[in-house]
A and B are shown apart, each in its own frame.
Chain A
Amino acid sequence: EPEVTQTPSHQVTQMGQEVILRCVPISNHLYFYWYRQILGQKVEFLVSFYNNEISEKSEIFDDQFSVERPDGSNFTLKIRSTKLEDSAMYFCASSEPGPINEKLFFGSGTQLSVL
């Protein structure tokens, strides 16, 4: 089965630094997403991306965050000036267009630790 890949699997950074989390969605998918999950808490929606622009974003996705699709395959999440509370697992997901876009395919996540 095709899969979403995320790199790195773990990222440790100092508070105040910038990090870029990378994702390669499934090749024929058109909708892309970033979610995060703080340890022991629920999955939280950050942003969705379609047709090279943000289609939806949550309250969490403030000016500290940005997304980019720099080429035809990668989808990145940049977190500027990281804070301790940004420590979480970040999941990228993608889905097909049309009625069957209900199924999200998730990557295995990037565990971000901000020290």
Chain B
Amino acid sequence: RKEVEQDPGPFNVPEGATVAFNCTYSNSASQSFFWYRQDCRKEPKLLMSVYSSGNEDGRFTAQLNRASQYISLLIRDSKLSDSATYLCVVRDSNYQLIWGAGTKLIIKP
């Protein structure tokens, strides 16, 4: 089983719609969780950390479900500029960052 697993997509979503995707992780002792965004052939950039209580940053909401070992990202009122690959990153018990392969999101006008 992969340590961090994501649906590769692509998710094709009309502009203005809401989209959500999940990421599952295998190590129950994982310590912290993040969503990064990566544009094509660019560097990853931190979108948001994911806290146990869930957190929101504008149109973006992240949730953590420790019992089921997944995190989620919800994007409301999607914009064309949200088109990117979203990378799930988990810090494991050895303090290593484990990266998912990413979910590709395409927002269509």
Contacts and interface: CB of A to CB of B under 8 A. Distances in A.
The reply to whether chain A is a binding partner of chain B is yes
Interface of A: 41-45, 56, 89, 91, 102-104, 106-109, 111
Nearest to B94: A56
B86 interface: no
A108 B97 CA distance: 19
A89 B41 contact: yes
**From A45, A106, A109, residue with most partner B Cβ within 10 Å:** A106
B87 A106 contact: no
Interface residues of B, number: 19
Contacts of B38: 43
Contacts of B46: 103-104
A45 B49 CA distance: 19
A21 B62 CA distance: 35
Contacts of A89: 41
A4 to B, nearest CB: 8
Nearest to B49: A102
B43 A109 contact: yes
Interface string B6-50: 000000000000000000000000001010001001111110010
Nearest to B32: A102
Contacts of B99: 42-45
A89 B18 CA distance: 32
A111 B41 CA distance: 9
Given A42-B100, A91-B43, A104-B97, 20 more contacts: A42-B99, A42-B101, A43-B87, A43-B99, A45-B99, A56-B96, A91-B44, A102-B32, A102-B34, A102-B49, A103-B49, A104-B44, A104-B46, A106-B43, A106-B44, A106-B45, A108-B42, A108-B43, A109-B43, A111-B41
